[in-house]
């Protein structure tokens, strides 16, 4: 069996001081780096939005960050502007060991649709290409860590399980946004989807 470590969105904007800071988001970097040598493949995802992305509250009149709207593909949380392509906020945390990565997967780069999952955009059907990459490399087991537990990590883990991968989420190497109980809901949904929490 071949194992990959998938490090989700370990970027400045999700760390303290960033535009969409996750509490203690930077506290997991050292632990993630230390895990990398145990894996045949290390994949980093990078949230990578064009300026004015449709998930940004700033482009929706009268709406505030963290409110919900209906998009053609379903419900969508509106976020503060974050991870704008090429910005410092979109860069990986300076301490993340990016040298070990064999693949960096960018997502959320289409203006009209968000992409939490590393596998599919938020319509749940437009593929990012990650499944093809993993299949071609014979990777069957995925370990996930990063930000945020209740959004991009959870969506990635559940899609991975749905696609037939053995998925482990390293809970201690993730941090959550936790909007209105979203962390508990995400943990329950991951368990229901067959994701193992370690
Ligand atoms: C994320 C909200 C918006 C995440 C990305 O990485 O969990 N959350 N964009
Ligand atoms: Zn985003």
Nearest partner of 130 among 115, 113, 147, 111, judged by Cα: 115
Q: Cα separation of 103 and 101, whole Å? A: 5
% of residues, the chain, pLDDT over 90: 99
17-67 confidence digits (pLDDT tens): 999 999 999 999 999 999 999 999 999 999 999 999 999 999 999 999 999
CATH code of 3-49+82-197, in short, is 3.40.50.850
Q: Cα separation of 9 and 46, whole Å? A: 5
Q: Cα separation of 65 and 80, whole Å? A: 5
Q: Which of 107, 150, 159, 174 is catalytic?
A: 107
Indicate the pLDDT class of residue 191, thresholds 50, 70 and 90.
very high
131-153 confidence digits (pLDDT tens): 999 999 999 999 999 999 999 99
Q: Which of 6, 13, 20 to mutate to test the pocket of ligand 1 (most atoms within 8 A of CB)?
A: 20
Q: How many CB atoms lie within 10 A of CB 185?
A: 14
Tokens 């064999």, located at residue: 102
Cross-strand partners of 174: 146
DSSP 50: P
**Whose CA is closest to atom 1 on ligand 1?**
152
Give me ligand 2 centre to Cα 69, in Å.
Answer: 15
Q: Cα separation of 81 and 88, whole Å? A: 13
Collapsing DSSP states into helix, strand and coil, what is residue 189?
helix
DSSP tally for the chain: helices H, then strands E: 4, 8
Residues with CB under 5 A from ligand 2 (ion): 47, 108
Q: Cα separation of 178 and 158, whole Å? A: 18
Indicate the pLDDT class of residue 176, thresholds 50, 70 and 90.
very high
Q: State ipTM.
A: 0.98
Nearest atom within ligand 1 for CA of residue 152? 7
Q: Indicate yes or no: pTM above 0.90.
A: yes
Question: Quick check: is 47 catalytic?
Answer: no
Domain ranges in the chain are 3-49+82-197
Contact status, residue 193 vs residue 161, Cβ threshold 8 Å: yes
Cβ–ligand 1 distance for 13 under 6 Å, the answer no
């Amino acid at each position: 069996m071949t194992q990959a470590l998938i490090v989700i969105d370990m970027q400045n904007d999700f760390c303290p001081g960033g535009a969409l800071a996750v509490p203690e988001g930077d506290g997991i970097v050292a632990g993630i780096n230390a895990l990398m040598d145990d894996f045949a493949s290390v994949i980093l995802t990078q949230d990578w939005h064009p300026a004015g992305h449709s998930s940004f509250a700033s482009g929706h009149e009268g709406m505030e960050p963290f409110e919900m709207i209906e998009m053609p593909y379903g419900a969508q949380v509106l976020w503060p502007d974050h991870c704008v392509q090429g910005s410092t906020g979109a860069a990986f945390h300076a301490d993340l060991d990016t040298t070990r990565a064999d693949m960096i997967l960018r997502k959320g780069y289409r203006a009209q649709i968000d992409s939490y999952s590393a596998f599919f955009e938020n319509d749940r059907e437009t593929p990012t290409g990650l499944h093809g990459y993993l299949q071609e490399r014979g990777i069957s087991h995925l370990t996930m860590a990063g930000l945020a537990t209740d959004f991009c990590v959870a969506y990635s883990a559940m899609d991975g399980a749905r696609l037939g991968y053995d998925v482990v989420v390293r809970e201690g190497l993730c941090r959550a946004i936790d909007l209105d109980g979203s962390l508990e809901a995400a943990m329950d949904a991951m368990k229901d989807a067959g994701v193992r929490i370690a």
